[in-house]
Copies of this chain bind each other. A is one copy, B any other.
Amino acid sequence: MAELPEIKKISSQMKETLTGKTITKIDVIQEKCLNIKVNELAKRIIGKEIIDVKNKGKWILINLSGQENILISLGMGADLLYYEKPDQIPEKYTINLEFDKNCGFTLEFWWFGKFYIFTSKELENEPSIKNIAIDALDKKFTKEYFLTLCKGKRTGVKTFLLNQEIVSGIGNMYIHDILFKSGVHPKKKLSEMPEKSLLKLYDSVLERLNFSINKGSFSMEKDFFGNGGNYSQEDFLVGYRKGKPCPKCSDIIEQIKTGSTSSYICPMCQSI
């Protein structure tokens, strides 16, 4: 599933490509992903202009003229693809949104994708996103802010970083290397980490996410133009590398259970 590097990439491509365009048509093959009836949806968005596209954690938020907003969740994987001309429209799609000048995008959900509409006022209280924290690449996610988030918390560091209401956008793919890079065990309690260690953790979050972004994000995820990134399997440091040597100390990387998720760690570099 897409984490911050993938979501930031696709939402910024959408912003660049779609801003200023006017919605002329919507075609919905499967209504279950909507929050309202398709004809009401059409009435509310046709003729509206794209003002802005951004991400809210792992959600994509499209702001339209007339105080309307589209909220998209890619669920367990989805293709969100731009087309320049009608003859590029894929054969299969769940939703097709057309703009003036015949371009548009299709959205093909396979599992649990969502395409919601809310007025700007409704959006303020929408449960899906109202408690999502700022994301790890937000300017406001500073060292100082991070330290205040940590203050008084006794939970394990992995649970903490994956909690979307504390900081959003990190998932169980990039977390392994973030923890490895800062030399901390996933089950280490925040309360037992000295400030120096927390600051190193903060740096690792930004470093690992930006490393992927600079590589164009994960290779298996398609962007708005159908391309994968250049962050490949070999770019993981310890993530998914059970049995291989640690890149720092050459000890053997282990896969351990951490609650309901798995974690990949170097047992030498990440003692608890």
B243 touches A109 (CB 8 A): no
Q: Considering the chains assembled together, what is the distance between the CA atoms of A244 and B219 in angstroms?
A: 10
Q: A240 touching B172 by the CB < 8 A rule? A: no
A221-263 vs B, CB cutoff 8 Å, 1 = contact: the mask equals 0000000001011110000111111010010100100001110
Q: Assess the B260–A232 pair: CB atoms within 8 A.
A: yes
CB-CB under 8 A from A215, the residues of chain B are 260
- Contacting pair B37 A92 (CB below 8 A): yes
Residues of B within 8 A of A133 (CB): none
How far is B77's CA from A68's CA once the two chains are assembled, in angstroms? 29
Determine the main DSSP class of A at the interface with B: loop
Mask, A96-116, CB within 8 Å of B = 1, is: 000000000000111110000
Q: Is A30 an interface residue (CB 8 A)?
A: yes
- With both beta carbons as reference points, the residue of chain B lying nearest to A218 in the complex is identified as B243
Asked whether, in the complex, the Cβ of A34 is within 8 Å of the Cβ of B92, the reply is: yes
Task: Please give the count of copies of this chain that the complex contains.
Answer: 2
A233 with B252: CB separation less than 8 A: yes
**In contact, B244 and A240 (Cβ under 8 angstroms):** yes
Give Cα A260–Cα B234 distance, bound, in whole angstroms. 9
Are A233 and B242 in touch, CB under 8 angstroms?
Answer: no
Q: Given A32-B110, A220-B112: A244 and B234 within 8 A (CB)? A: no
Contact of A32 among B32, B109, B262 (CB under 8 A): B109
For the complex, give the distance between the alpha carbons of A57 and B205 in Å: 37
CB distance from A25 to the nearest CB of B (A): 22
CB of A126 closer than 8 Å to a CB of B: no
Partner of A220, one of B111, B172, B233: B111
A35, A220, A247, A260: residue with the most chain B Cβ atoms closer than 10 Å: A220
The 0/1 profile, CB within 8 Å of B marked 1, for residues 65-106 of chain A is 000000000011101000000000001100000000000000
- For A110, list chain B residues within 8 Å (CB): 30, 32
A120 to chain B minimum Cβ distance, whole angstroms, is: 20
Bound-state CA distance A247–B260 (Å) is 16
Binding site for B on A (CB under 8 A): 1, 30-32, 34-37, 75-77, 79, 91-92, 108-112, 172, 215, 218-220, 230, 232-235, 240-245, 247, 250, 252, 255, 260-262
Query: Which 7 A-B residue pairs are closest in the complex by CB-CB distance?
Result: A220-B243, A32-B110, A240-B245, A112-B220, A230-B260, A240-B244, A220-B242
